[in-house]
Amino acid sequence: QMRTTRKVSVWPVGLVGGRRYERPVVENGRVVGWYTGWRADRPFAIDMAGFAVSLQVILSHPKAVFKRRGSQPGMQESDFLKQITTVEELEPKANNCTKVLVWHTRTEKVNLANEPKYHLDTVNIEV
């Protein structure tokens, strides 16, 4: 699905942010918000594994940088994406962000500390 990215595409990521998954919330084919366990106020409340950028966009924004240092914790993705796109331009993938096709994995026990006690998402996603 990444191959069809025209500018910047997004999708859910499993086992991230202390939840079973985080995802862009999509209405009528447009990203309208974020289902996330941490700092939903971020401009792009998304994990690094949750987006792709076309090479043409990278080439057309030569000053855009992904800061290894200098961003607030958890803001690297937002700081980068703000340089190249807007939320309105995001291209939802994975069946309008209703399927987890990517997992944030580590060689440690999964932390689900931010998982809501009662399922608050509007879609039922299998993880």
Q: What pLDDT is stored for residue 107 in this prediction? A: 66
Q: What pLDDT is stored for residue 113 in this prediction? A: 83
Q: How many residues in total does the chain contain? A: 127
Q: What pLDDT is stored for residue 17 in this prediction? A: 82
pLDDT tops 70 at residue 39: yes
* Three-state secondary structure call for residue 50: helix
Q: How far is CA 88 from the centre of its chain?
A: 14
Q: pLDDT category, 109, cuts 50, 70, 90?
A: confident
- Average pLDDT of every residue of the chain: 90
pLDDT tops 80 at residue 22: yes
Verify whether residue 77 is a known catalytic residue: yes
Task: Determine which one of 77, 88, 89, 126 is catalytic.
Answer: 77
Q: What pLDDT is stored for residue 122 in this prediction? A: 79
Write down all domains in the chain, each with its CATH number in brackets. 1-126 (3.90.550.10)
Percent of the chain beyond pLDDT 90? 65
pLDDT tops 80 at residue 106: no
- pLDDT tens digits along 52-74: 999 999 999 999 998 878 788 78
DSSP sequence for 76-114: HHHHHHTTT--GGG-EE-HHHHTS---B---SSPPP-TT
Q: How far is CA 94 from the centre of its chain?
A: 12
Find the mean pLDDT for residues 106-127: 77
